[in-house]
Structure 1
Amino acid sequence: MTHAAHSLANEALWEKDRAHAVHPWTNFGPFERQGSLIVTKGEGCYLWDADGRRYFDAVGGMWCTNIGLGRREMADAIAEQAMRLGYSNYFVDIGNDAAALLAARLAELAPGDLNRVHFTTGGSTAVDTAVRMVSYYHHVRGNPDKTHIVSRDASYHGSTYLTISVGKRAGDRIEEFRYKEEGIHHLSSPNLYRRPEGMSEDAFCDALVAEFEDLIARVGAERIGGFIAEPIQASGGIVIPPKGYLKRMWEVCQRHDILFIADEVVTAFGRIGHWFASQDEFGIVPDMITCAKGLTSGYVPLGALIFSDRIWDTMAEGGHRWFSTGFTYSGHPVACRAALKNIEIIEREGLLAQAARVGGYFEAQLATLADLPLVGNVRGRKLMACVESVANRETKEPLPDEVGESKRISNACEAMGLMVRPMGHLNVMSPPLVITEGQADFVVQTLRKAIVDVTDQLVREGIRIA
């Protein structure tokens, strides 16, 4: 949206934001010229800007507005909790009722013996804590050098100094910042679309597992403490791993005494139709699960690290150690109450089943976009999906970055009342679980028109689409 498109009513808000706010991942030039789209209202799957224009939010906020916006019972629960106990110290030996109830509920929902919960402020801080816990756990067991972490290319695990270093997504590493390098290793992304030409899915999976084994042999199992993986890589491009990949990587971890961290900040709480994807979708019980986003459906910031009784028992053995990490807002009673109400709504309204049903329909409809010349790949699982643009469908060659076709597509969608998220050469979607089949049709039809229009623009500009 450009400055010229603003009404007088929106002008003051727009200018205040442009003059003073620093947004995550700010692109300075475009921001200074164009500012931001100022959103003032949300209801269900829809957002309204300061000029009253309505948009269907197919991005789901930031992968998080699972139950939809504008829920009166959520607002009432948050308000009631804020009046009764708006904050309480959660350090050492002080708790609160909302946090206690939520910890027990998460233990019920999590797979296996993941019965221990450490509350954080969001996904980044949950992953940060998980990575630090790896070192703590192995140190207690007499392995102080077992601190190295293995991650993957195209992964995103947060934006703290530690978690941005553990992740490795194109565009996140910039020369102006420094990153932790020592003790962090990255394997290939399990991206089937970008696997070597002519390689089968099974052979690709074999190669990925062998790469992990080779890394362990090179670095030493006595030094590698943890492996972290998003069950489906989200911001890295909706990467669905090869069949059996996660189970086999988990088995490698088991053989070498490496803790398996499932980063379910995106996939948990219904995104692909389950409370947690690790066991229900991929058949593994990790040692730790990190979650946030759908935990409160974005109404209030909250994250959690859920980990096994075995890890707790090891760390607590002897009763003399301190687990010296946490945050002022850990176990925040208002955030925990919001999460409890959110879980109640998901369960009462059958939103996991709805996400699976409508998500399957959404997958099928999105697949019809594969006939468009600009579309190289359509992929996803239930309510997380993306469309990847290419210059050549045969070679999978991308367009030059300066073309910016995904941003052009998202701009065209926005002009028609639809929000999708441009990332590199992708347009990404993660709509609320309350999306209907009719709304899914609107998303796909609007996206099709936007892609066709942008393709026509590119051709007129002399850009070849093969």
Structure 2
Amino acid sequence: MTYQNYSLKQLQQIDAAHYLHPFTDHKELRDIGSRMITRAEGPFIYDSEGTELLDGMAGLWCVNVGYGRTELAEAAYEQMKELPYYNSFFKCSTPTPVLLSKKLAELAPKNINQVFYGSSGSESNDTALRLVRHYWAIEGKPEKNRIISRKMAYHGSTVAGTSLGGMDGMHQQLGGAVPNIVHVMMPYAYELALPGESDHDFGLRAAKSVEDAILEAGAENVAAFIGEPIMGAGGVKIPPASYWPEVQRICRKYDVLLMLDEVITGYGRTGEWFAAQTFGIEADTITTAKALTSGYQPLSALLVGDRIAATLVDKGGEFYHGYTYSGHPVACAVALKNLEIIEREGLVERVKTDTGPYFAQMLKRISGHGLVGEVRSVGLMGAIEIVKDKATKERFSPVGSAAVAIRDHAIANGMMMRATGDSMILSPPLIWTRATIDMAGDRILKALDLAERDLRNA
């Protein structure tokens, strides 16, 4: 029996009885019931009642080529018929992860030529943590195991991913993080810059917090610094231009590895294949997932730099780590076809030269609204900062309530977007056109107007 045989109410009842959702207040969900998304096409998603929503989040930062791509379904089907599964343990391999690894090495920054597969960004960050500590151990420096991360960073929701991340609420629920991980200030100028401090100087000050943490621990004890090129789930916080060059200089000075989390920014989001290329960062590891398959299959890929890979190969010894679905042949077949589509349709270049700049213009138009304190974007990734008072940056109380109000009005008016703290964030499919961007801008402005009416009159 398919879902079409059930009413929305029946599906919601079954959902409430059996399905525990991620990042959810389950009492609240059961009070209101789930929205059932039942189909999607191009840049739009549709719920069980036939309501059309322009998807401003590419699913969850991932559906870069849009919905309804028959080629991806066919790639999965053909691979399933030929070889639905075999593992990568016991010195075995299958063709699709081999060919995907070659392709990723061609697309990645020049110092990266090796790949380790998992099924999610969280898994890949677990792998990155394990790999970096293993690297220093086989280099004869096991004490060099401290990881420096940032407050409000998001690196997944596994135990290691939560520990690497800087979300206080997640740490409290975890009740015991992986040891030797510390968190420093984030490069968020809108809230953290000092009065009169330039973006350039703020970027250097934020980078200095990394150096301060290295010096406090002793460089001989610090394995790596991990950061998202743009802090995604934390609110699309874009660092000043001075930040990443200084962080890279500091890491090289103290022989600290640089780990990039590109689970959100990888595969064209910023107008380059990787944000490492956008910001000129030479990383030792790059965590990727999401848009690798455009979300059509669960797959992650940790891109491993030559320095680490050379030590693993030259010094040998078993790396006691891996997953049942590492290099899953069907997921890798879909990834290969997805990358082919992105290349064939020139989506990365389009984001860089056309839709990315036009998206920024749309956000600039929105910036004049009375609730908007700041807009910011890189490529097709942006944020709208929500304030009560533009001049003083005063927020509505409680924190996040205004953004939720805007989100709800946006959804009611055909625009799916996300509220994170006091920010509205956008990460649409890369297939958006100028017409789609105009549609989004109109719907966002309507949501802002309706929310302002509610908030000012509350």
CA distance, structure 1, for counterparts of residue 397 and residue 424 of structure 2? 16
2:243 alignment partner in structure 1 = 245
Does residue 161 of structure 1 match 2:183?
Answer: no
- Relative distance call for 1:296 and 1:379 in structure 2 (3 A) is same
Task: Specify which of 362, 366, 369 is matched with residue 369 of structure 1.
Answer: 366
Q: Which amino acid aligns with 1:351?
A: L
Does residue 335 of structure 1 match 2:328?
Answer: no
2:207 alignment partner in structure 1 = 209
Does residue 296 of structure 1 match 2:293?
Answer: yes
Task: Specify which of 351, 355, 365 is matched with residue 355 of structure 1.
Answer: 351
CA distance, structure 2, for counterparts of residue 142 and residue 403 of structure 1? 47
Does the 8 Å contact 2:20/2:26 carry over to 1?
Answer: no
What whole-Å deviation, never above 9, does each CA across 1:188-214 have from its counterpart, x for those lacking one? 110121222221112212212322222
CA RMSD of aligned residues (A): 1.5
CA distance, structure 2, for counterparts of residue 199 and residue 459 of structure 1? 32
1:92 alignment partner in structure 2 = 90
Q: Which amino acid aligns with 1:339?
A: A
CA distance, structure 1, for counterparts of residue 70 and residue 24 of structure 2? 33
TM (norm. structure 2) is 0.96
The correspondence of residues 145-224 of structure 1 with structure 2, limited to 5 A, is 145-169=143-167, 171-173=169-171, 175-180=172-177, 182-194=179-191, 195-224=193-222
CA distance, structure 2, for counterparts of residue 260 and residue 179 of structure 1? 25
1:21 alignment partner in structure 2 = 19
CA distance, structure 2, for counterparts of residue 225 and residue 176 of structure 1? 26
Does the 8 Å contact 1:131/1:226 carry over to 2?
Answer: no
Task: Specify which of 303, 308, 315 is matched with residue 306 of structure 1.
Answer: 303
Does the 8 Å contact 1:9/1:51 carry over to 2?
Answer: no
SS class of match (2:142): coil
CA distance, structure 1, for counterparts of residue 367 and residue 111 of structure 2? 42
CA distance, structure 1, for counterparts of residue 205 and residue 450 of structure 2? 40
CA distance, structure 2, for counterparts of residue 405 and residue 241 of structure 1? 24
2:268 alignment partner in structure 1 = 270
CA distance, structure 1, for counterparts of residue 350 and residue 424 of structure 2? 23
2:254 alignment partner in structure 1 = 256
Does the 8 Å contact 1:401/1:424 carry over to 2?
Answer: no
The alpha carbon displacement at 1:402 in A equals: 6.3
SS class of match (1:427): strand
CA distance, structure 1, for counterparts of residue 405 and residue 307 of structure 2? 50
1:464 alignment partner in structure 2 = none
CA distance, structure 2, for counterparts of residue 291 and residue 385 of structure 1? 19
The alpha carbon displacement at 1:431 in A equals: 0.5
CA distance, structure 1, for counterparts of residue 315 and residue 425 of structure 2? 49
Does residue 384 of structure 1 match 2:387?
Answer: no
CA distance, structure 2, for counterparts of residue 260 and residue 117 of structure 1? 16
Does the 8 Å contact 1:354/1:434 carry over to 2?
Answer: no
CA distance, structure 2, for counterparts of residue 196 and residue 29 of structure 1? 41
- Relative distance call for 1:46 and 1:145 in structure 2 (3 A) is same
CA distance, structure 2, for counterparts of residue 181 and residue 376 of structure 1? 37
1:439 alignment partner in structure 2 = 436
CA distance, structure 2, for counterparts of residue 403 and residue 46 of structure 1? 26
SS class of match (1:24): coil
The alpha carbon displacement at 1:169 in A equals: 3.0
What whole-Å deviation, never above 9, does each CA across 1:323-377 have from its counterpart, x for those lacking one? 1101000000000000000000000010112222112101111111111121111
Q: Which amino acid aligns with 1:345?
A: I
Q: What is the number of residues matched between the two proteins?
A: 452
Task: Specify which of 37, 46, 49 is matched with residue 47 of structure 2.
Answer: 49
CA distance, structure 2, for counterparts of residue 316 and residue 402 of structure 1? 50
2:457 alignment partner in structure 1 = 460
Answer with 175-184 or 27-36: which moved more. 175-184
Does residue 424 of structure 1 match 2:444?
Answer: no
What whole-Å deviation, never above 9, does each CA across 1:154-185 have from its counterpart, x for those lacking one? 21011110111111136434x44314163111
CA distance, structure 2, for counterparts of residue 211 and residue 354 of structure 1? 36
SS class of match (1:371): coil
CA distance, structure 2, for counterparts of residue 105 and residue 402 of structure 1? 44
Percent sequence identity is 39
2:279 alignment partner in structure 1 = 282
CA distance, structure 2, for counterparts of residue 407 and residue 186 of structure 1? 28
CA distance, structure 1, for counterparts of residue 37 and residue 61 of structure 2? 17
Q: Which amino acid aligns with 1:208?
A: A
Does residue 399 of structure 1 match 2:396?
Answer: yes
2:67 alignment partner in structure 1 = 69
SS class of match (1:86): coil
TM (norm. structure 1) is 0.94
Answer with 264-273 or 197-206: which moved more. 197-206
Q: Which amino acid aligns with 1:458?
A: L
What whole-Å deviation, never above 9, does each CA across 1:87-129 have from its counterpart, x for those lacking one? 0011131110001000111111111221011001111111110
Does the 8 Å contact 2:160/2:178 carry over to 1?
Answer: no
Q: Which amino acid aligns with 1:163?
A: G
CA distance, structure 1, for counterparts of residue 333 and residue 372 of structure 2? 43
Answer with 197-206 or 323-332: which moved more. 197-206
SS class of match (2:112): coil
What whole-Å deviation, never above 9, does each CA across 1:301-321 have from its counterpart, x for those lacking one? 0001111222122123343x1
The alpha carbon displacement at 1:403 in A equals: 6.8
Task: Specify which of 94, 119, 122 is matched with residue 121 of structure 1.
Answer: 119
CA distance, structure 2, for counterparts of residue 421 and residue 54 of structure 1? 17
